[in-house]
Amino acid sequence: MKNNKKILFYGYGNPGRQDDALGVLFVDEMEKWVKAQKIENISFETNYQLNIEDAEEISNYNLVIFSDASMEPIEGFEFSKVKRSDAQVEFTMHAVSVSFVVDLCYKIFNKVPNAYLVHLKGYEWDLDFDKGLTERATQNLQDALEFMKQKLREL
């Protein structure tokens, strides 16, 4: 299937910390699906956290869909537009926020890709490679994947 936009899926989180793997697993699963559908112009990237260097990476795309696990009180998952105006450095497990990376992309490269964040609700964060995702997080992942597949079909 021909796609005219250059799209990047960028997931981040620690796969060794149970539900913190949600962002990375979301991208891994989307990559499998996109390849099976033979959709062109979509790239995939994962990392433990966002970095300022990611501003250069996203400058090459029209659309960037970030994904991350969330401890926030959300239901299942949320899909939201990333705004440059929300940019701030946050001192959390993730070095910088998604909006900070998008804002930096604008400031350095004078480009602002259309950016969205898929926030997937997680429940357990133990450092244990053998436990994997919790059952509820697995369901949230599946729901978010179905949502995103439909969004890509609409493109």
Residues 66, 117 contacting (CB under 8 angstroms) = yes
| Per-domain boundaries in the chain | 7-154
Q: Look at 155 and 87; give whichever has higher pLDDT.
A: 155
State the residue for tokens 């970095």. 51
pLDDT tens, position by position, 91-104: 554 468 899 999 99
Distance CA(9)–CA(65), nearest Å, equals 5
Per the confidence metrics, is the pTM higher than 0.95? Answer: no
pLDDT tens, position by position, 105-126: 999 999 999 999 999 999 999 8
Please tell me whether residue 69 adopts helix, strand or coil conformation. Answer: strand
CATH number of 7-154: 3.40.50.1450
